[in-house]
Amino acid sequence: MTMAKISTSLNMKSNINLVRRNLDNLRTALPRIGKFRITEALTEIMRRMSKPGKKMTYPVPWVNVKQRIKVIIMIMKKQGFLPYARTGSHERGWKMESNVQGGKVYNNSRGSKHLYGTMRDPRQSPIHVGRWVNLRATYDAVVKGLPKKVKESLRKVPRA
């Protein structure tokens, strides 16, 4: 009868060491899992944002005559003829950078804020609304699918 008692206490002691070791492994693994989920979400945002916009509809919904003149002059300087021929630079302009906290997705192409909006100001130029994907709406849709703990760890970006 005493042998059984000794055997049980030895099993518990070895299981405690195993549990302690696994908890230590879990403590180091959790941030990596969270970072992986964030990187996965950023990749999905980048994939969705890289889709080309729909073709222009006519009449063009210009904000005012000044905008119309400015855009036409810009197109003529850049390519020398109308209508504008897409180069795909905005779609290819999406980049992702990883850092210690997670990462970021951005597009530094000229005028991209007018096509996609920004995180702080999701408004797009009226010419592009409904034709190009909105950055803030895409971010919200992707983050909605993340686990609660990962969402809480994201840096909060104020809404406009």
Tell the burial category of 45 from Cβ atoms under 10 Å away from its Cβ (0-12, 13-18, 19+).
buried
Euclidean distance between CA atoms 98 and 2, whole angstroms: 58
Q: Is 36 helix (H, G, I), strand (E, B) or coil?
A: helix
**pLDDT tens digit sequence for 74-121:** 889 888 888 888 888 889 999 998 877 678 889 998 888 989 999 888
Give the residue with greater pLDDT, 95 vs 145: 95
Total-model pTM: 0.70
Read off the pLDDT of residues 29-51 as tens digits, 9 standing for 90 and up.
Answer: 666 666 778 888 889 999 999 99
Q: Residue ranges per domain, the chain? A: 2-153
